[in-house]
Amino acid sequence: MKLDILALAAHPDDTELGCAGTLLVHIAQGQKVGVVDFTRGELGTRGSAEIRNQEANDSAKLMGLAVRENLGFKDGFFVNDESHQRAIIQKIRRFKPHILLVNAPKDRHPDHGRASEVSVTASFLSGLKRIETKDENGLAQEAWRPKAVYHYVQSDYIHPDFIVDVTEHWDKKMESIMAFKSQFYNPDNQEEDTYISSKIFMKGIEARALDFGRTIGVKYGEGFTVDRTLGVDDLFKFK
């Protein structure tokens, strides 16, 4: 299956929080979008790996993702080394996305920065034909390098290089976040409170999106940063 956009994430729910609105925008346009989570979030205070796996599947169905997979990296301890790079390269070469959306290069959770780094490295290496990988059937894969890698903004504020208008899909984005019932605000959940389980955290998500939206003249926006200068051929396509 070839994808137009592939989102990579350190944990299940990273993409929901950071770029679900953007994914929904492009799904609505008829483009194929998928997510590959690196870990099962097994170190999280609430829920479990099994619960979060089911929640990730529920969110994927709600958003209409073409595919969602998990690499089973070790939560909290994966690194930017050859074995992890190769696992990601195999997915990039399998799905051949034009665009990669990846974690923020620096954030409150150290996994996010490491996920960003290994994603960027793997994206580049995936385009080198002398790095040999095989698919799940043992067949040799062709080299493939996405045209662009964009980082979604997460917990820490990072001034975005561009902002996507997600106003039309805001409600479904929030539904996709709340599919992770074990993680976010739920008065019926009697587990220990965490940084992300409070009402304030949920209000912060909306406040960030409102602020990003305000800067481009819409209600809700999602921000992204880039590693290289973007180019355009039509000044009238800017918002």
List the domains of the chain with CATH numbers: 5-227 (3.40.50.10320)
- Other C-beta atoms closer than 10 Å to the C-beta of 174 total 19
pLDDT in tens, 69-111: 999 999 999 999 999 999 999 999 999 999 999 999 999 999 9
- Other C-beta atoms closer than 10 Å to the C-beta of 169 total 24
Dihedral sign for Cα 201, 226, 123, 3, please.
positive
Question: For residue 47, what pLDDT is reported?
Answer: 87
pLDDT in tens, 5-59: 999 999 999 999 999 999 999 999 999 999 999 999 999 989 899 999 999 999 9
How far, in whole angstroms, is CA 63 from its chain's centroid? 13
Find tokens 């944990």 and name the residue: 11
pLDDT in tens, 126-170: 999 999 999 999 999 999 999 999 999 999 999 999 999 999 999
DSSP 8-state symbol, 74: -
pTM metric for this prediction: 0.95
